[in-house]
Amino acid sequence: MANILHIDTSPRGERSISRALSYEFITSWKDTHTGDKVTYRDLGHNPVPHVNEAWIAAAFTPPDTHTPELAEAIKLSDSLIDEFIAADRYVIGVPMYNFNIPSTFKAYIDQIVRVGRTFTIDENGYKGLVDSSKKLLIITARGGSFPPGTPFAAYDYQEPYLRAIFGFLGITDVTFIHADSLGAGDEAREKSLAAAKDAIAQAVANW
């Protein structure tokens, strides 16, 4: 039995493509993996706060020296990290905003990337503390298309950043499903959505 953390990051509701596709994966997965537990976090509709000065002070001082104010400032981060580490697999729906991720998702990442909790530093440099056997599936929704080897690939800061930051934590088994060309007309949109749904079906069978 696996514990799956399912995260949506779009501020949209029923009009969100990334939400619809991540939901399609999760519902199909649960149909064939009935014993698995799914924990859901909706960052698009229930965003977490950005880090502030009190958070930084708490993150870089020993917990046993925290004042009540510092303990409160880091409390949510501790909870989010506990939730993240407890998961065996991750499914994240992410729209592309200005070639990258929504600020709500970046705020979440800043809350869980913490020295001593999800990464450490030693004489050899940085080391992720999250179990490297865990798997991450990221489903994106994009208005354009950024195929590798084309001039447009240089505009894709979304996939490289997400691979880098989760790899930094120790998660290197990362699969992307891109629903792209969504702003390129009805024909391109439908073709891309069909391809994304096919990829989701394959991921359900093989992930």
Q: What is the pLDDT of residues 64-106, one digit of tens each?
A: 999 999 999 999 999 999 999 999 999 999 999 999 999 999 9
**Type of residue at 194:** A
CATH number for region 3-206: 3.40.50.360
Q: Residue 118: what are its φ and ψ, rounded to 5°?
A: -115, -10
pLDDT tens digits along 15-59: 999 999 999 999 999 999 999 999 999 999 999 999 999 999 999
How far, in whole angstroms, is CA 32 from its chain's centroid? 23
pTM: 0.94
Closest CA to 21 of 144, 178, 126: 178
Distance CA 117, CA 106 (A): 18
